[in-house]
Amino acid sequence: MKKVLVDACGWVAVIEAGINIDLALLECCGYKELAIIPNVISELESLNNPKLMISMLEAKAEIVEAPDSSGKHTDDQLFALAVERSWPILTVDTELKRRMSKSNLNWIEVSGRSHLRMV
């Protein structure tokens, strides 16, 4: 089943924009299933911001483990999973989007601070 990998900065952007993630994903790509890696949860928790609704993200998303060969950096792990499973990443990280583009992979970004767009 196709899922959307969530990067910490992508989740922050969605929350800050007040986007209804379920509706926006359905409009953007036709599915709303989310996946997260443990490092993303750790990064969000380190921000110590209760407005980020981490518990809601954890309830909506499947926690997946990154391939052992992907390294310890969150972006490397997300990228490896995106390659392995052909899942887009919800992110606003410019460098991660560049890597995705070079590998001809899709990503989802907050556009215009009001909706999601798949690239």
- CATH number for 40: 3.40.50.1010
Matching residue, tokens 């990503």: 107
Residue 47's φ and ψ, nearest 5 degrees, are: -75, -20
> Distance between CA atoms of 34 and 30, rounded to whole angstroms?
12
- In this predicted structure, the answer to whether residue 47 has a pLDDT above a threshold of 80 is yes
Q: Cα–Cα distance between 116 and 98 in angstroms, integer?
A: 18
Q: How far is CA 21 from the centre of its chain?
A: 11
Q: Quote the domain boundaries for residue 68.
A: 4-118
* The token pair that represents 115 in the structure block: 């909706």
Both tokens of 97, joined, read 């989007």
**Band of pLDDT at residue 66, cut at 50, 70 and 90:** confident
Query: Model-level pTM?
Result: 0.93
64-92 per-residue burial string, b: 16 or more CB within 10 A, e: under 16: eebeeebeeebbbbbbbbbeeeebbbbbb
Q: So what's the pLDDT on residue 60?
A: 95
For residues 74-99, average pLDDT: 96
Count: domains in the chain: 1
